C-alpha cells in the first residue's frame, strides 16, 4: 500500500524569486506529499551540484534540466518502490545518478523527491514527519539561532561577517525562547531606526545596517537585549553566535576583512575570534576559517575549545569530510543542510557520523528558502537541539518557527528544550 504510484515535479520560486524544484509523490493508498528545495548564496565547493540550465531565461537559473530528470528517469526508477524504505529510495537515486556530487540529476532533483517520498510515507503511516523519522523518543525541540544582523553575501552592506545571531539559551521551552528572540528583534529595529541606520532586511530577514566593526554590531545587540528586559552573558538568557562564512573572505592565501587594513593569516584571524570571545558570550562560531584551511581549523579548535566551532562549508553535510574533520581534530559541531548532500538518508548518515564523534548538531535553512518546513521536523526527529532558520521575519523563515510551535503543542508536557549536552 505504500508503493509509489506516481512521481511528479514542477518549478516553483524561492524567497529570492529564483526557480527551484518541488517534488510530488503519490502512493497507492492515496497519500500524496510535496517538498520544495532551497538554494544557497554562499555555497561551499564540496556541496552537491544544484543543476541549473544556464542561458538567458531566469538569468541562467532555470531548472528545466533537473525537472526533466525528475519527471523522466527518476520517475521510472522509483515507481512501484516502497516509500517507507527511505534508504532504498535514496540509494537508487545515488546509484542512478552515478556521480560523487549529483551532477547528472542535480541535487535539487534528488532532494525534491527524497523529501517528498519521506513525507508521503509519514502520511501513509498517519504520523507527523518528526515521529516518522525519529520515533516516539523525538521530543526535543531546538534552540533557535536567530540571524538578526546580516552581512557578507546575504546583504548589500560593508559588514564582513555573514550572520550575527541571537541564541536564547536561558529559557525552559521553545515558545518562550522564540518570544524573547522576537522581542529583542523588534527592539533592535527601533534602536537602529532611531539612529537613522538601515532597517531593510537581508536574505534571511536580519537587518543590514552598515557597521565598521564586529564589536560595534555586538555592542548594539547587547544593548537591544538589555533594553528588551533580558540578560546577556554566560549562564544568562542570551548568548551570541556568528556565521563568518570565511571562505567568502579568503583569497590569495589570506583573509581580507574590511575592518582590517592588512590581510590576515589563519593565526591572526583566530586571534580576532579569540578576542571577541573574551569580550562577548558566544555559543558558536560557524565557518571561522576557509573550507580548505584544515591546519587552521585544527589550531582554532584547539584554541577555542569552549566554543562550538561549526563546520558548514568545511563539511558540506558530507560524511566523508566529517570523518576527515573528526580524524584531524577540526571543528566540534556540524551544520546540516539537506541540499548540500542531496538525499534524506545521506543527511541522516552525516548526522550519525558527527554525533558518534561527539560533535554538536545544528539543522539549517538556506538563504534562498521556501515555505517548506521539513527542517523543523528534522531538528526534532534527530534531537539536534539547535536550528538556524533566520530572523523572525519573512514567511519562508517563520514557516519553520510556526511548525516548531505546532510540534511543541502536539508534544505537550513531553516536549523538551535544547541539546542533550549543551
Closest CA to 205 of 221, 225, 189: 189
Tell me which residue of 265, 327, 318, 375 sits closest to 44, measured CA to CA. Answer: 318
CATH number, span 4-126: 3.30.390.10
- In whole angstroms, how far apart are CA 328 and each of 295, 319, 324, 357? 9, 14, 6, 12
The confidence score (pLDDT) of residue 156 equals: 63
| Parts of the chain belonging to CATH 3.30.390.10 | 4-126
Q: What angle do CA 189, 397, 219 make, to 5 degrees?
A: 35
As given in the structure block, the three cell numbers for residue 100 are: 560523487
Which CATH homologous superfamily contains domain 134-417?
Answer: Enolase-like C-terminal domain (3.20.20.120)
Region of residue 329 (left: phi > 0; alpha: psi -120 to 50; beta: else): left
Banded model confidence at residue 154, pLDDT cuts 50, 70, 90: low
Beta bridge partners of 143: 386
Q: Confidence class of residue 420 from pLDDT cuts 50, 70 and 90?
A: confident
Does 155 have pLDDT greater than 80? no
Q: Is 365 exposed, middle or buried (0-12, 13-18, 19+ CB in 10 A)?
A: buried
**8 A C-beta contact, residue 178 and residue 405:** yes
CA distance 294 to 77: 39
pLDDT value, residue 150: 87
166 contact partners, CB below 8 Å, separation of at least 6: 145, 146, 148, 181, 184, 185, 221, 225, 238, 240, 241
Question: Is pLDDT of 44 > 80?
Answer: no
Contacts of 109 (CB under 8 A, 6+ apart): 9, 21, 23, 51, 66, 67, 69, 70, 74, 102
Q: Give the mean pLDDT of the chain.
A: 95
Q: How far is CA 49 from CA 83, 101, 322, in A?
A: 25, 6, 18
| Catalytic residue annotation | 204, 337
pLDDT at residue 261 in the model: 85
Residue reference for cell 558527527: 354
Instruction: Name the burial class of residue 421, with classes exposed (0-12), middle (13-18) and buried (19+) by CB atoms within 10 angstroms of its CB.
Output: exposed
Provide CATH 3.20.20.120 ranges for the chain: 134-417
pLDDT digits over 314-353, tens only? 999 999 999 999 999 999 999 999 999 999 999 999 999 9
Give the integer Cα–Cα distance in Å for 174 and 340.
Answer: 27
377 against 151, higher pLDDT: 377
pLDDT in tens, 157-196: 667 899 999 999 999 999 999 999 999 999 999 999 999 9
Cell numbers describing residue 189: 529595529
Q: Write down the pLDDT at residue 158.
A: 66
> 330: buried, middle or exposed (CB in 10 Å: 19+, 13-18, 0-12)?
buried
Q: 24: number of CA atoms within 13 Å, CB side?
A: 10
269 Cβ partners below 8 Å, 6+ apart?
A: 246, 255, 257, 288, 289, 296
Does residue 17 register a pLDDT over 70? yes
**How much is the pLDDT for 229?**
98
d(CA 157, CA 260): 16
120 pLDDT above the threshold of 60: yes
Question: What confidence tens digit (pLDDT) does each residue in 128-141 have?
Answer: 999 999 999 999 99
How far apart CA 179 and CA 323 sit, in angstroms, is 37
pTM of the predicted protein model: 0.96
Can you say whether the dihedral through the CA atoms of 96, 100, 101, 107 is positive or negative?
positive
235: burial class by Cβ within 10 Å (0-12, 13-18, 19+)? exposed
Amino acid at each position: 500500500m505504500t508503493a509509489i504510484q506516481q512521481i511528479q515535479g514542477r518549478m516553483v520560486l524561492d524567497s529570492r524569486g529564483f526557480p527551484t524544484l518541488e517534488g510530488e509523490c503519490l502512493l497507492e493508498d492515496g497519500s500524496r506529499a510535496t517538498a520544495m528545495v532551497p538554494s544557497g548564496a554562499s555555497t561551499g565547493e564540496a556541496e552537491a551540484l544544484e543543476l541549473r540550465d544556464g542561458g538567458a531565461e531566469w538569468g541562467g537559473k532555470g531548472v528545466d534540466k533537473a525537472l526533466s530528470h525528475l519527471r523522466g528517469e527518476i520517475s521510472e526508477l522509483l515507481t512501484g518502490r516502497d516509500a517507507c524504505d527511505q534508504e532504498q529510495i535514496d540509494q537508487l537515486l545515488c546509484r542512478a545518478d552515478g556521480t560523487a556530487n549529483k551532477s547528472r540529476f542535480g541535487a535539487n532533483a534528488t532532494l525534491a523527491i527524497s523529501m517528498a517520498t519521506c513525507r508521503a510515507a509519514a502520511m501513509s503511516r498517519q504520523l507527523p514527519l518528526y515521529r516518522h523519522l525519529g520515533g516516539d523518543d523525538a521530543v526535543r525541540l531546538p534552540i533557535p539561532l536567530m540571524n538578526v544582523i546580516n552581512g557578507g553575501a546575504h546583504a548589500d552592506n560593508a559588514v564582513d561577517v555573514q550572520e550575527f545571531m541571537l541564541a536564547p539559551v536561558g529559557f525552559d521551552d521553545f515558545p518562550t525562547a522564540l518570544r524573547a528572540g522576537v522581542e529583542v528583534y523588534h527592539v533592535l529595529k527601533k534602536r537602529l531606526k532611531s539612529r537613522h541606520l538601515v532597517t531593510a532586511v537581508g536574505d534571511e530577514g536580519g537587518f543590514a545596517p552598515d557597521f565598521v566593526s564586529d564589536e560595534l554590531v555586538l555592542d548594539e545587540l547587547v544593548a537591544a537585549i538589555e533594553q528588551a528586559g533580558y540578560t546577556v552573558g554566560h549562564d544568562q538568557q542570551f548568548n551570541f553566535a556568528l556565521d563568518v562564512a570565511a571562505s567568502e573572505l579568503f583569497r590569495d592565501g589570506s583573509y581580507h576583512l574590511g575592518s582590517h587594513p592588512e590581510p590576515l593569516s589563519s593565526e591572526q584571524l583566530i586571534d580576532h575570534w579569540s578576542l571577541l570571545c573574551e569580550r562577548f558570550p558566544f555559543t558558536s562560531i560557524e565557518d571561522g576559517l576557509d573550507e580548505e584551511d584544515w591546519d587552521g581549523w585544527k589550531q582554532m579548535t584547539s584554541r577555542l575549545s569552549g566554543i562550538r566551532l561549526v563546520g558548514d562549508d568545511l563539511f558540506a553535510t558530507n560524511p566523508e569530510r566529517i570523518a576527515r574533520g573528526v580524524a584531524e581534530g577540526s571543528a566540534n559541531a556540524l551544520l546540516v543542510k539537506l541540499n548540500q548532500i542531496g538525499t534524506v538518508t545521506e543527511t541522516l548518515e552525516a548526522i550519525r557520523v558527527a554525533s558518534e564523534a561527539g560533535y554538536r548538531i545544528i539543522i539549517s535553512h538556506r538563504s534562498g528558502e521556501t515555505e517548506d518546513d521539513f527542517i523543523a521536523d528534522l531538528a526534532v526527529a534527530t534531537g539536534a537541539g539547535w536550528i538556524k532558520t533566520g530572523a523572525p521575519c519573512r514567511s519562508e523563515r517563520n514557516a519553520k518557527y510556526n511548525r516548531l510551535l505546532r510540534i511543541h503543542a502536539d508534544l505537550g508536557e513531553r516536549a523538551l528544550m535544547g541539546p542533550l549536552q549543551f
